[in-house]
Amino acid sequence: MRELFWLIPFFPALGAAFFIIFGRVISKKLVSWLAPSLVGISFVFSLISFLQLKGVWIKELFSWIKIGNLSIPFAFQFDPLSSIMALTVSGVSFLIHVYSIGYMADDWGYKRYFAYLNLFTFSMLLLVLSANLPMMFVGWEGVGLCSYLLIGFWFEKDTAANAGKKAFIVNRVGDFGFLLGIFLLFSLFGDLSFSFINSHVEGISPEMATAAALLLFVGATGKSAQLPLYIWLPDAMEGPTPVSALIHAATMVTAGVYMVSRLFPLYHHSGFALNVVAWIGIITALFAATIALVQNDIKRVLAYSTISQIGYMFAGVGVGAVAAGMFHLFTHAFFKSLLFLAAGSVIHGVGTQDMREMGGLRRVMPATFWNFLIAALAISGIPGFAGFFSKDEILKEAFLSGHKWIWLIGVVTAGLTAFYIFRLIFMTFYGEKRGWDHAHESPVVMLIPMSILAFFSIVSGWIPTSFAKYLQPLGYIEIKEASHSTEIVLILISVAIAVLGIFVAWFVYVKRKGKGWNFGFIYKLLYGKYYVDELYNLIIVSPYRKGSELINRYFDTGVIDRTVEGSGELAMNGGKLLSRLQTGLLKDYGLWMTVGIITGLFFAIRSLL
Amino acid sequence: MISAIVFVPLFVAILYVFIPGENKKFFKIGSLSTTILVFLASLWLFVKFNPANPLPQFVELKKWIGFGLNYRVGADGISLMLLILTTFLMPLAVASSWNYIKEREKEYYIMLLLLETGMLGVFVAQNLFLFYIFWEAMLIPMYFLIGIWGGEKRVYATVKFVLYTMLGSLLMLVGIFYLWKISPEHSLYFYDLYSLEISPSVQILLFAAFGLAFAIKVPLFPFHTWLPDAHTEAPTAGSVLLAGVLLKMGGYGFLRLAMPIFPEGFRAFFPYLIVLAVISIIYGAAMAFVQKDAKRLVAYSSVSHLGVVMLGIFILTLKAYTGGIYQMLNHGLSTGALFLLVGMIYERTHTREMEKLGGLARPLPVLAGFLIITVLSSIGLPGLNGFIGEFLVFIGTFEASKTVAAFAALGIILSAVYLLWMYQRVMQGKVKNADYMKLPDMNLREILIMVPIVILYLWMGLYPKFFISKFEKSAKFMLEITNKPQIARVIQGGGK
Amino acid sequence: MSTFSLLLLSALLFAGGIAGFFVRRDLITMLLSAEIMLAGANLALLVFSTIKKSIEAEAAVLVILTVAAAEVAVALAAIAVVARKKGEATEKTVSELKG
């Protein structure tokens, strides 16, 4: 495998190319078989490579860009970090491909959908397997592209088209920073491979490291939907639900966390940048969780939940616990995509995304309900489920490394998380039915992937220590040992707060049937998502549009083009004026001639005298 | 060989004059096969070209008028790439006119072929006088192409285009006279001119004269207003060649003539030119964003993209310089393709107003697919060609000045804004007009036009070395001459 | 006659020609006036040639006379055409060159 692991991304690429070129002539059935199996092959390759991996594998295919001292090979890297990502990505992607066969069965863009989904898997695998920053950037923008294509998949809906465009542009804002970060790193190191940067990071000043790390982090906030660039993710829910599960929950949005983990030595060297990562992460976690408390669209709740959970991951990496952050990324991939798939199953059955029109679905969709419940328990941090271990790991690390405030906010957010996710469950599956009539359970092809994910939503959390140990060859993984008593206290606190959150949700939405829930101003503020979109519109989007329009009308046409036309008119009018002399009368010409001769003679004679 | 490539189109055009105009099919097929033949011949040059030698190759030198006004052609790496870009785009331009041009076909194809000779001549001329002749000769067919087969405001657009360009080139002509006078033996051979010693104050004047001509052609802000009009009114093939090739001549003129012959003059204008290039990037993008006419939008996007090219050439670092040249090729491809696609949409819907379009991806999925990949190439998606050029330009600029690079790189955000907005308005949303649901998708001819372009997007994006290695040495050499004029004196005479 | 009076005569002829050219409106008289100016100039040339005792000026006069004769023929023909086409031949009838 050592020589062949670089093939991992290319199986789905093959599929994407094949579907795009021959989409017209191949049958739907072929697509349904081929698309998941190609991703399956990637998964198998990843698994074999994972099992065989020792140390770091680097495979250089050819020299991609080479000018002067700039040399970027087309190279892949397989090490503990990327192996985990490759496994997660290809595994979850495979399951979601299978699920999509059922979910998208009746869609007119079936083949196009799988082409995009395969293309996405390719880009994402490219991202995680790249050995240098520009290569990573290829995948980085590639996943952004697929995200754009898939969010706007139902492009006839204006909201979907807008959401796709918004996602791409906001991501581009982040990529702008990312690109400048790459340039800065190049001017500092003269080499852009991860291994070189990570091993030579001591050679640059911490200030420069801070600048580069923060610029790259701007890219991460865009891709991973963190403050202040998170605004595209809630809108991205316009895409098909399996897409939300795969791209906007499990894989793409965690790319930022992966990038920071990958370049952790750089962030560590800066110190300040690492703190920024932690704080942005935890504030985003709290911020998004509060919004999720009051949303009524089932997918939007999950979207804000994703933003919040990724915030946790950044907080984890930011306090120095790369293993904990990556571990949460790993478990989150399972339970969050399960949440989305289960929500998709609900939407598939009910035909609406508004939770106020659901209710009582527990009886008609039992399998979906149980899957959802497992995932909800996992994200709430109930002991025994995956989320408990990984979230706890982050909170513990934050506490032990002395970031008491981050720990506190994290704990509060955990309570909010438990509340909003169970609010979702109670509104959807409990109570009496509202506004739906022909709900039905989803087909097996959708339920099986969900069950597999449910399985992993439980067991994937059971390995925190071996996970960290596995990552240790990276060289910057510390495993902190806490005293037993501290650990137990921390666990008790977070479990208590999770249970409290669930209880409050039960109390409000089951006991009181959602009545008496009115906080007036705060509710409005949260429901309006803090009006951040409106703010951005006000200070960036519309000034740019209005300004451009004004410049176009008054400056481009009014001044520049006017000047150009004016010079033309000047020549025209000047000519017209002079042409008055051309009377057509012989006499006048004679007169001018005489005048000319006399003047000439005058000067000639004067010069003689 | 080069002379043959340059003059075969002219020869065929002359032949056409003697053939009665009713044989419409003949002119189409004849032009297509001529241009393809020329393309194949230029590929042969590409193969034979020795990339290790930075100087012009395939040189032909004939005594012509005398007094130093010789016929001297040849191609170094940079010329070669632009030559191939031209010969590559020509068959596509001919094919795109297949059904678009319905009247006076004979004259139309004569003009296209004449244009090809003019364009190729500019890139291979090695004598300044010869260069000037081709430079001006190219205008004439373009004048007719826009003026006869153009849109509604074609006369206004043509007059503006020709007068604007003339204004610039007349000043250049004066400069040429001066150079002719002071050059030893009146030689106007480029490499002799590089070694001229001209006093800095004169250099400033001469650079201004040459620079204006080229800046108008590029076009750099604020000399750009002829471009949207000319582009919008020109027939598709005219727009393709205008964007794909003619706009490159400004940049080519700067890097081949204005900068190396008058390095001191260039140095005097350096900061202003950088600022103009950056303004072009941002300004062009902002203007493109608010256009209602799809073709106008693409025209303004050219201003923005050419800003990137010029920044790369002006900033004088090897990466940016190479990237700038590479970006010329990219822009020729992707903007040419944008015009082709907008032209195809226009042929179907007879409108370019984006307000009236929308939702076309439903009836025209293939066209939508080609449009999106072209848009992506144009906004520099990594993996496609545009990225390589932009990346090199920006990383090279970053070496010279971080601030300039930061401002210029804003272009990557803004280009996504206006091009995706265009795509959305044309292809997404509900179909505005029920008749549009019955529009025919791309036919085989149109697909065959686009496929080579798309292949090149991927090829140039994934394995740029193949192309860069051909002109890398020449670019480095030109850059050295520009940076240190004394080098030119050492290698005096180059390929003599 | 003295040189002076001959020169005076030539100047008078020339001035008369100019005056005629500017005062009269019909093309034939204007043509006549132009011829008179020519005659004046020729006379002056001849006078100077005798003073300088050179033959070139006389040769020039001969050339001028010949050319003038031809020119008059052409001009008269043109005027005749104008008169036939437009009914009269004054300067107003041939002002097509008006800008």
Looking at per-residue pLDDT, the higher value among B224 and A360 belongs to B224
CA atoms B355, B361, B366, B370: torsion sign: positive
Identify the residue among A573, A582, A585 best suited for mutation to test binding to C, counting C beta carbons within 10 A and taking the highest.
A585
- Whether A176 has a pLDDT exceeding 90, the answer reads yes
Q: Are 3 or more Cβ–Cβ pairs between B and A shorter than 8 Å?
A: yes
Task: Identify each DSSP E strand in B67-177 by its residue range.
Answer: 69-75
CA atoms B481, B485, B491, B496: torsion sign: positive
Q: Do C99 and A591 touch (CB under 8 A)?
A: no
Domains identified in chain B, total number: 1
pLDDT of residue B495: 41
- Whether A490 has a pLDDT exceeding 90, the answer reads no
Q: Give the structural domain span for B14.
A: 2-494
Report yes or no: C92 at the A interface, CB cutoff 8 Å: yes
- To the nearest 10°, the Cα dihedral for A182, A188, A191, A194? -60
- What is the arithmetic mean of pLDDT over A512-524? 69
Distance of CA A479 to the CA centre of its chain: 29
pLDDT of residue A403: 87
pLDDT, tens digit (0-9, with 9 covering 90-100), for A43-67: 999 999 999 888 889 888 888 988 8
Residue of chain B nearest A182, judged by CA positions: B395
Query: Which two structure tokens, joined as six digits, stand for A446?
Result: 């959708």
Chain C from 31 to 50: CB within 8 A of any A CB: none
Question: Which residues have a Cβ under 8 Å from the Cβ of A136 and sit 6 or more positions away?
Answer: A127, A130, A259, A262
Q: Are 3 or more Cβ–Cβ pairs between A and C shorter than 8 Å?
A: yes
pLDDT of residue B491: 52
Q: Do B362 and A156 touch (CB under 8 A)?
A: yes
The rounded mean pLDDT for chain B is 90
- What is the arithmetic mean of pLDDT over A212-228? 92
Residue that the structure tokens 């727009």 belong to: B239
pLDDT of residue B355: 87
How large is the ipTM?
0.91
**Residue from A480, A475, A448, A440 nearest A464 by CA:** A480
Q: How would residue C1 be classed by pLDDT, with cut points 50, 70 and 90?
A: low
Q: What is the DSSP secondary-structure string of C28-96?
A: HHHHHHHHHHHHHHHHHHHHHHHHHT-SHHHHHHHHHHHHHHHHHHHHHHHHHHHHHHHS--BGGGG-T
Q: Do A591 and C96 touch (CB under 8 A)?
A: no
- What is the arithmetic mean of pLDDT over A212-239? 91
Give dist(CA B51, CA B451) in Å, integer: 28
- Whether A147 has a pLDDT exceeding 80, the answer reads yes
Residue B416: HSE in the Cβ half-sphere, 13 Å Cα cutoff:
24
Question: Which residues have a Cβ under 8 Å from the Cβ of C85 and sit 6 or more positions away?
Answer: none
Of A70, A145, A158, the CB nearest to B381: A145
Minimum distance, in Å, between the CA of residue B383 and any CA atom of chain A: 6
Q: Do C22 and A582 touch (CB under 8 A)?
A: no
Q: Phi and psi (nearest 5°) for B66? A: 90, -170
Q: Do B395 and A183 touch (CB under 8 A)?
A: yes
Identify the residue among A577, A582, A587 best suited for mutation to test binding to C, counting C beta carbons within 10 A and taking the highest.
A587
- Whether C11 has a pLDDT exceeding 90, the answer reads yes
Beta carbons of A524 and A437 less than 8 angstroms apart: no
Residue that the structure tokens 């260039």 belong to: B266
Q: Do B405 and A142 touch (CB under 8 A)?
A: no
Residue of chain A nearest C21, judged by CA positions: A587
Q: Do A176 and B395 touch (CB under 8 A)?
A: no
Q: Do C99 and A590 touch (CB under 8 A)?
A: no
pLDDT of residue A514: 64
Of A141, A548, A560, the CB nearest to B381: A141
Q: Phi and psi (nearest 5°) for B188? A: -110, 20
pLDDT, tens digit (0-9, with 9 covering 90-100), for B266-277: 999 999 999 999
Report yes or no: C91 at the A interface, CB cutoff 8 Å: yes
CA distance between the termini of chain A:
105
Count the Cβ atoms, other than its own, within 10 Å of residue B185.
9
Give dist(CA B289, CA B223) in Å, integer: 19
Count the Cβ atoms, other than its own, within 10 Å of residue A484.
8
Q: Do B406 and A68 touch (CB under 8 A)?
A: no
- What is the arithmetic mean of pLDDT over A124-133? 93
Q: Which chains touch C (3 or more CB pairs under 8 A)?
A: A
pLDDT of residue A228: 87
Minimum distance, in Å, between the CA of residue A161 and any CA atom of chain B: 7
Q: How would residue A177 be classed by pLDDT, with cut points 50, 70 and 90?
A: very high
- Whether A68 has a pLDDT exceeding 50, the answer reads yes
pLDDT averaged per 10 residues, chain B (length 496): 91 90 86 94 92 89 84 92 94 90 87 94 93 92 90 88 87 91 87 86 92 91 89 91 92 92 90 94 92 92 94 92 94 94 91 87 90 93 92 92 92 92 90 85 90 94 91 91 67 45
pLDDT, tens digit (0-9, with 9 covering 90-100), for C61-98: 999 999 999 999 999 999 899 888 888 888 777 777 66
pLDDT of residue A222: 92
Query: Which two structure tokens, joined as six digits, stand for A518?
Result: 């009115």
Beta carbons of B259 and B270 less than 8 angstroms apart: no
Of B225, B424, B464, the CB nearest to A161: B424
Give dist(CA A416, CA A425) in Å, integer: 14
Q: Do C99 and A579 touch (CB under 8 A)?
A: yes
Give dist(CA A252, CA A337) in Å, integer: 12
pLDDT, tens digit (0-9, with 9 covering 90-100), for A184-202: 999 999 899 999 998 898 8
- Whether A436 has a pLDDT exceeding 80, the answer reads no
Q: Do A582 and C98 touch (CB under 8 A)?
A: yes
pLDDT, tens digit (0-9, with 9 covering 90-100), for B459-491: 999 999 999 999 999 999 999 888 876 555 555
- What is the arithmetic mean of pLDDT over A89-116? 90
pLDDT of residue A454: 92
Count the Cβ atoms, other than its own, within 10 Å of residue A19.
24
**pLDDT over 70 for what percent of chain A?**
99
